[in-house]
Structure 1
Amino acid sequence: KVCFCDTNGELGTKTLSELQSKYGEGNAMFQTCDVSLQQPMENLFKKVKETFGCLDIVCNNAGIGGEVYPLWEKTIDVNLKGTTRGTLLALEHMRTDKGGKGGVIINISSAAGLNVNPLSPVYSATKAGIIALTRSLAMNSEVKSAGVRLNVVCPAFVDTDLIKEINDDNCLDVQKASKFIEMIGVVSKEVVVDCFMELVRDVNQNGAVVKCSKMDGTQYTSIEVKPVT
């Protein structure tokens, strides 16, 4: 059973119809929702729990790009605040010490969050924040004892509308970005999905940071963890 949300109601309804046709009407649900807004997100999680009974897996995947005002503020609202909002709400519903059954949260960041990205610094900052958020919560002893795992996927350029819509609003140098994409290559959505599913299935993975790209394939990234004193 799956519920997905998007601001694009028309596309969401079309996708819902396809899923219901393949898996049955009772196994898929769509809600129009803006992840940058608290109340709609709270309503979404409540609706899912009422409909399906519990949450086992949550994927925070919403992301946009914007490097000029006011788009850079919206980028932070959607990418970082939206993912934070979805993660914390998921924890509220999943934690065994709060009535949940445990589960796994997979956040979608970007290779831009692992590297210096002078072409899209605001976007890069939001994605770096997602990595820090995910790993910090994964290492929290209370979260671990409450039966929730958190991992993060960091794709490079993926075959989506985002890279097809590069312009002066979401990139500081369109020409350089286009050349960089050509050099790095574009990874298929299926590769990212496979990476996601691996982190869902492997119960030993908690706090994992996995990069996937056309050039290097799938790589588990090692980031030093220093104990808090």
Structure 2
Amino acid sequence: MALNGKIAVVTGAALGIGKAMTEILLQNGATVVLLDVNEAAGKSLKEALDKQYGREKTLFLNCDVESEEHIKAAFQKTVETFGGIDILCNNAGILNERTWEKMISINLVGAIRVAYLALQHMNKLAGGRGGVIVNTASMAGLGPLMSCPVYTATKHGVVGFTRAMAAASTASGYGIRFNALCPGFVQTDLFSAIPSNLGHYSHLADATQQMADMMGTLTVSLVAECLLELVNDETKNGEALLVTTNGNKYITFPVFTLSRGP
């Protein structure tokens, strides 16, 4: 998919990975709508981007992915302003084992809610243009992070949802590709705060840090480059791309097929 003239929406866009996603999409010609609950950071980023790309290339909207009303209003404003949606980077997420129910609400329920509401505008069967949805998962969506069991569960859910939606979209003719981005440890505020957000598993903080030291930490720009690959490559659908300091790998999953009985 050539990004020139495309309209992208990024959730959790104000900081960290979302900010890097926003920047790389703009660098490649897309117009970007930034959604984030952090209004101060969102407005500050918007001002900086205006100076570099012009006011017409971005739109910031305060949006909480836990609120259906917020998301509906944000997508409606996007369509009214730019005419449609081609790309969704479903990126908003938190890591806090102490508030595990909220983590499920944001990381998994929020991701599903955003994707379903985006479908109303992107789905070719509903008059949309089709496009691509990339859900930000994690290496914890592919294997267990023992100090973060609920975070692990949410990211496994994101990967499963992504793969099932990719198959459903193909079978139904939605015209939308779905892929999951699964980075390892990334140099963000979320990563820095892990030791203080482990709740019952705070005694495993040292083991988690040792794992991070062994694996190394990614830059947000490297993660954003992998997003670009999943967006641009039209052959990628239902993929989970593991991103590590040692290289990137598309994950091979077991294949289940329907079979008729005798």
TM-score bin, normalised by smaller chain: over 0.9
Corresponding position of 1:201: 232
Pick the aligned partner of 2:76 from 46, 53, 56.
46
How far apart, CA to CA, are the structure 1 residues paired with 2:198 and 2:229? 31
Paired AA for residue 74 in structure 2: L
The DSSP-based 3-state class of the residue aligned with 1:139 is helix
Corresponding position of 2:148: 120
Contact 2:159–2:240 at 8 Å: present in 1 too?
yes
Contact 1:3–1:29 at 8 Å: present in 2 too?
yes
How far off is 1:131 after superposition? 0.3
How far off is 1:117 after superposition? 1.9
Change in Cα spacing, 1:141 to 1:64, as seen in structure 2 (3 Å) is closer
Pick the aligned partner of 2:60 from 27, 30, 34.
30
How far off is 1:228 after superposition? 4.0
Contact 1:38–1:85 at 8 Å: present in 2 too?
yes
Q: Which runs of 5+ in 1 are unaligned?
A: none
Corresponding position of 2:26: none
How far off is 1:227 after superposition? 2.2
Contact 1:138–1:144 at 8 Å: present in 2 too?
no
How far off is 1:64 after superposition? 0.6
Change in Cα spacing, 1:146 to 1:15, as seen in structure 2 (3 Å) is same
TM-superposition CA deviations, 1:5-38 (whole Å, max 9, x none): 1111111001001111111111100011111111
The DSSP-based 3-state class of the residue aligned with 2:227 is helix
Paired AA for residue 161 in structure 2: L
Corresponding position of 1:131: 159
How far apart, CA to CA, are the structure 1 residues paired with 2:169 and 2:197? 41
Change in Cα spacing, 1:143 to 1:58, as seen in structure 2 (3 Å) is farther
Contact 1:107–1:152 at 8 Å: present in 2 too?
yes
Total equivalences in the alignment: 226
Contact 1:95–1:143 at 8 Å: present in 2 too?
no
Pick the aligned partner of 1:16 from 29, 33, 46.
46
How far apart, CA to CA, are the structure 2 residues paired with 1:143 and 1:48? 28
Moved more, 162-171 or 88-97: 162-171
How far apart, CA to CA, are the structure 2 residues paired with 1:180 and 1:126? 20
How far apart, CA to CA, are the structure 1 residues paired with 2:225 and 2:120? 27
Corresponding position of 1:166: 194
The reply to whether residue 188 of structure 1 matches residue 216 of structure 2 is: no
Q: TM-score, normalised by structure 1?
A: 0.95
Contact 1:109–1:130 at 8 Å: present in 2 too?
yes
TM-superposition CA deviations, 1:31-87 (whole Å, max 9, x none): 11111111111111111111110000000111111212xx10110011001111111
How far apart, CA to CA, are the structure 1 residues paired with 2:251 and 2:47? 37
Moved more, 167-176 or 74-83: 167-176
How far apart, CA to CA, are the structure 2 residues paired with 1:141 and 1:19? 34
Corresponding position of 1:148: 176
Contact 1:41–1:86 at 8 Å: present in 2 too?
yes
Corresponding position of 2:5: none
How far off is 1:167 after superposition? 2.9
